[in-house]
Structure formats: structure tokens, C-alpha cells
Amino acid sequence: MEHSDYGKTDRYIDKKFLAAAIFWMGAMFYMSARSADLSSADSGFVHKLLDYMMEHCLPCWTAADSARHYDLIEFLVRKTAHFTEYAVLSILVNLAFRIRRRWLLLIIPICFAVSDEFHQLFVSGRAASVRDVLIDSAGALFGLLLLLCISYSRSLNDGSRSGRIIKH
């Protein structure tokens, strides 16, 4: 992309990925607006699935182990979900906006994480957490780094050094 293209908005905004990012943020907001009981039920389903897998894949894992490690497993499930959903958001935002200083695009998921935690102050049984904002931000950074690694790998395979994520 040449410098003369920067004045043309449609050249560096991919509307499909922008729509996907907005949809993803809406889905995240919806999940965040659910009460603590409903949110726990969701993570409880994943927790039961992990228990089943552990009991059937690891002969030494028992139901007593599941009960003993319940809080840790639930914590890991919930925080992994935070990390992953913000990694996906970061990827979508980076695919939507084609700018050279991609690290600036971290502002969008991080600001969304802060607003999401603030929003949870008003949801029954939920609370805001600085730790969640940090986990969300780490997920956003991971998404950006993953995308940059893929981009760099593709540029090496193509024999070019452009590092473009999407060719124009």
C-alpha cells in the first residue's frame, strides 16, 4: 500500500472484519450482561466436560480429584475464556484495520475490557476486576503477536518481506 492510499478509508478498512469485530464485541457484551448464576452455569458445563475427559484419559484421575481441584479448574476455565475471547477480538480488529503501527490497535480491545468490567458493576452478582482487565489485555496482545507471527511466516514463504496480513 502506498502513502497516497491512506486518505481513502475504504482501502484500509475491511468492512467484513469490522462487522465481525463489532458482532464479537456484541456477543461479549451479551455474555457479560448475564447474571453470575448464568455465567457460572456456562463455566460449570465446561468444567464437567473437562472432568469427564480427565477421568477417561488419565487413569489416576478420580472424582475425588475433581472435587478437590474444583475451584482451580473453574478459575482456569473462566480466565482462559477471558484470554481467548480478547485474543479473537484483537485478531478481528487487526484484520479490520490495515495500519502500519498495529500495536495502536490494542487500544480497542483494552478499552473494551475496561468498559466491560465497569459494565459488570451493574450486573447482578458480578463485580469489576482489574485482574480480568489484565488477563483480557494479555489475550489481546497474544492475538496481535499471533497474527504478526503468521504474517511474518507468510512473507518468508512468499519470498517477500512485506509482512502484509492480507494482500491488496
Q: Tell me the pLDDT band of 165, cut-offs 50, 70 and 90.
A: low
Predicted confidence at residue 1, as pLDDT, reads 45
Distance CA 146, CA 162 (A): 17
The closest of 75, 77, 82, 80 to 132, measured between CA atoms, is 82
CB 124 within 8 Å of CB 38:
no
State yes or no: pLDDT of 56 exceeds 70: yes
pLDDT band at 104 (very low <50, low <70, confident <90, very high): confident
**55 and 62 Cβ atoms separated by less than 8 Å:** yes
Question: pLDDT band at 29, cuts 50/70/90?
Answer: very high
Task: Give the span between the Cα atoms of 46 and 40, in whole angstroms.
Answer: 10
For residue 168 the three cell numbers come to 491488496
> What confidence category does residue 24 fall into, taking pLDDT thresholds of 50, 70 and 90?
very high
pLDDT of residue 159: 65
